[in-house]
Chains A and B, each alone.
Chain A
Amino acid sequence: MAVTEDRRRITVRLTVLQIGVVVTFAALAIGFWFLQIVQHTQYEEMAENNHQRTLALRAPRGVLFDRNGKVLVENRHSFNISIVREHTKDLDRTIRLLAAVAGLDVEQLRQIVDPHRGEPTYRPIVVIEDASLAQVAAITARRLDFELPDVVVEEVPTRQYPTDALAAHLFGYVGEASEAQIGDGIKSGAIIGQSGVERVYNTLLMGQDGARRVVVNSVGREIRTEAEVPPTEGRRVQLTIDYDLQKAAEDGFKHAGFNGSALILDPRNGEVLSLVSLPAYDPNDFAAGIDRATWAALNSDALRPLQNRAIQGRYSPGSIFKIVVATAALEEGIVDPGFKVNCGGGATFFGRYFLCHLRGGHGVVDMRTAIEKSCNVYFYTLGNMLGVDRIHKWAEKLGLVGLTGIDLPNEQESLVPSTEWKRRRTGERWYPGETISVSIGQGQVTVTPASLAVMIATVANGGTRVTPHVIRAVDEGGGWKAATPPAVAERVAFRPDTLAALHDGLWMVVNAKGTGGRARIPGRDVAGKTGTAQVISIRGRQAARGSGLDLRDHGWFVFFAPKENPQIAGVIFGEHNEHGYLGAPIAKHVIETYFAKKDGQPLPTLGPKAAPVPVPGVDPDSVPRIDSQPIAAGVAQGTNAPGTN
């Protein structure tokens, strides 16, 4: 009896256990069903994130060549060191260790990391840009020891510019895209052109970043590459710049010993052969991310090295403007080249006496001589006959109004006044007396070196206002394809006698008794004109005395060569060099280099630095500082203030 009961109890309890086990296993199966079927997608994604990491492969930017195929800007390899926090347990520990290994300050490192703490952990935080090889070696060793598994060393292409900051303002610089620049193919953290050619042709040069998907293990070590999309290098771009002429111009400035700007172009098509702005910055400082101190120093430098003077500096053209007045008078048919004026050292207009720079006067001068001698009285007379609006009209045809349209960013507008301009600007009518100072490039006339380069090129080629440009050809992948040159801004065929008189006069400046003798090259028929840009009036000079500002005048030299069928033209702007003729040797060196290269001759070199030249008794370009010209003086001070003082 007991045995049977025993059996029954055992059977019942075993059945309970059987049911219990079956139910439990069913519950387990349901649990797995939930994880593996219902929530599979979610967990699959988490598993992918766990072991896959996508690394950006930065595309090298397109290489820049000069017009002869010489490499100007290329790329080098640099190393970035980043922290990937995905598997970081203690970020502070990583920072401390990394600082010790890389020889950096912990606080500084923390400041770099802190702003990024809120970002997704898989996104690398770049802490050291362009790391030294010693740093790379030290960190790589620690990585292998698993001490710094969350620190990665990335090889990235970095822009390499020529040494000596050659053509810095032409090339511009690159930098990380700002918030406002993101979008339209530019992702956060992308390196894009921020200035110069780098910026204007960024789309061509940027290339397409690639990506590498790697498998990492639980401590973040890369196991293998799953997939790789190689980066596409940016387009190769050929510039119109000639390396040798660029160097010649910059050497010329160094040799002459002053800052300034130059823009030299081919007057036949507007191709820029050389663009100089001094002082310059070193674009290499920006290539791997500029440090705060350097950036602050560049920005606070009184000499404004970041400014591209060739297109952003605006100055009074001084005597250079006489070419415009001459062109206007001849083309408007007001005078012919034989028109003569007797210069007695000054003349009275509207009840005021305006001085010529030569006290004794030039005597009777015609157009050619007036240009050669830069006679103020002659051009006062022409200006008075023309009126300001016709001067403005021809200044515009020669490219001195508004923008030249050069393919570089942030060009400033040049200004030549007109009655309309003054009414709009001040609401006042134009006083004819103001025209007198405008006719010798004083008053409200302010122009960029680039616009003067266009002016002299237009005069050189006989009236075709070319648009200066720096891009020559682009390699879209199938070899060089010539870039479409910008349209000619305006085509005015000057009368032959206009052209002859202008060219003769300008030739005489250099080759006869004019002020441009230092640009004379036997057999090359260089034509040119000097000018002085008044930085400040006499009255202003007195007011500013002791302020420590450099108040010395700027000097101009515009030129073309040869006189017949000119092939090269340009402008040399010497900042505070006081005399326009001091720019002439720079032009000479460039022109000599140009022809030597063309003829296959060895390139000229500059001799030892010239001893300071004694200033001639009278500077023909020096501006008569007439205190009875309150309007002109005041404006001259005002307009010159930005950029020069």
Chain B
Amino acid sequence: MFERRLYHHVDWGLLAAVLALCAIGLSQIYSATGGWTSIVETQIYGVLLGLIALVVCLSVDYRSLADKSHLIYLAVIALLIYVLFFGAVRGGSRRWIDLGEFNLQPSEFAKAALALVLAKFLGEGRRGAITYVDLLIVGALTAVPLIIVARQPDLGTAATLIPVAFGVAFVAGMPMRLLGILALAGLLAAPIAWQFALQDYQKERISTFMDPAQDARGAGYQQIQARITVGSGGPWGKGFTEGTQGQLRFLPVAHNDFIFSVLAEEQGFAGVIVTLGLYLFVILRALESARLSKDRLGAYLVLGVLASFTFQVIYNITMSAGLAPVKGLTLPLMSYGGSSMIATLAGFGLILNVRMRRFTN
């Protein structure tokens, strides 16, 4: 299965950058939670399990995986439905399967599963151009897990499924005209969604984003605090574990959603640039893998995995600086969260897989 010569085609640079980000994340979690706590340990386990998942996803030829994609997809859907009814409730939503020591969040794995199934569907080399029927099927395949996740409710994670579909469809030759129409439709649909689809707390988050000062003690608080946290870091930062905003809990869930704010506070603009550079390197390198891919399937798979990753990275970092509405969206590779870490590293296993097998048949 894992031939020796393939070893030489592993993208070590990408892997190193990914691990570097994990390490930065770990150290900032250590800082934000006040030392060596069970949170840090859990995260280390997450990274280790993630690396195993990565190796597994790397070992099996992605084409074989794609052949089984429908099964993987169905399995994840089943898990999501299970969670909807029997999942553990935390913070008002049902997202987790309680495994005793570990809580599994199936929605995190939905992204990779969706990427696989969409890549497989569009990557089957029958014709050049993509049809509207294809796009409808893509939409349906995306909508099923999206709706289930949204009903947990976990709008943030549900939203990360959309980039998967768009990423794959985009490289698969989705007409630009359609992209424009969809964008326009989305814009027009926004007020309707505002009226009917959004929960009150979700509306509040968005309205306070427009004007954080209107509720400086309530919903706007986090956003203002996020800006203060980042801004007060200055060029060189306050020093490791010296950040007052994160340490004194002016910023909630600093080790989770706002891990990048903590980094910006303690390591300053310098640390921000280094980390942004690493993320950019990882994304560009992964796009390179797509370009080098032997077949369309590989390219689409890389894009599917990468799209939600990139979306999440950009959104979370923007939010960390108080420049986007606060949403429960973690920063992949850095935020605390075992399921997210495992799913993300598994995704990178797939990306590495595509590049590694670019010469194999």
Contact = CB atoms under 8 A, between A and B. Distances in A.
Contacts, number: 125
Interface in B273-288: 273, 276, 279-280, 283-284, 287
B328 interface: no
A232 interface: no
Contact of B318 (A28, A50, A223): A28
Nearest to B306: A17
Interface in A15-52: 17-18, 21-22, 24-25, 28-29, 31-33, 35-37, 39-40, 42-44, 46-48, 50-51
Given A6-B296, A10-B291, A35 B245 contact: no
A22 B281 CA distance: 10
A47 B244 contact: yes
A216 B228 contact: no
Contact of B250 (A17, A24, A218): A218
A10 B290 contact: yes
Contact of B235 (A40, A42, A218): A40
A9 interface: yes
Given A17-B170, A217-B248, A32 B272 contact: yes
B128 A2 contact: yes
Contact of B323 (A6, A21, A22, A31): A31
A195 B276 CA distance: 67
Contacts of A6: 128, 173, 296
A10 B171 contact: yes
A383 B323 CA distance: 96
B284 A18 contact: yes
- The SS class assigned to the B binding surface is helix
A47 B245 contact: yes
A32 B128 contact: no
A40 B229 CA distance: 10
A37 B235 CA distance: 6
B276 A25 contact: yes
Interface in B294-352: 296, 299, 303, 310, 314, 317-318, 321-323
Contacts of B228: 43, 46-47, 50
Given A47-B245, A218-B249, A32 B234 contact: no
A33 B170 CA distance: 32
B280 A42 contact: no
A36 B245 contact: no
B291 A36 contact: no
Given A5-B128, A14-B171, A14-B291, A51 B248 contact: yes
A637 to B, nearest CB: 67
Given A24-B314, A217-B248, A36 B280 contact: no
Given A42-B231, A50-B228, A216-B248, A32 B264 contact: yes
B235 A35 contact: no
B233 interface: yes
Interface in A215-252: 215-219, 223
Q: Enumerate the 7 nearest inter-chain pairs by beta-carbon distance, A residue then B residue, closest first.
A: A43-B231, A47-B232, A217-B248, A36-B269, A35-B231, A2-B128, A218-B249
7 contacts: A10-B296, A14-B291, A25-B280, A32-B264, A35-B227, A36-B264, A50-B228
Interface of A: 2, 5-6, 9-11, 13-14, 17-18, 21-22, 24-25, 28-29, 31-33, 35-37, 39-40, 42-44, 46-48, 50-51, 89, 215-219, 223
Given A36-B264, A50-B250, 8 more contacts: A14-B290, A18-B284, A21-B280, A24-B314, A25-B314, A32-B230, A32-B272, A40-B235
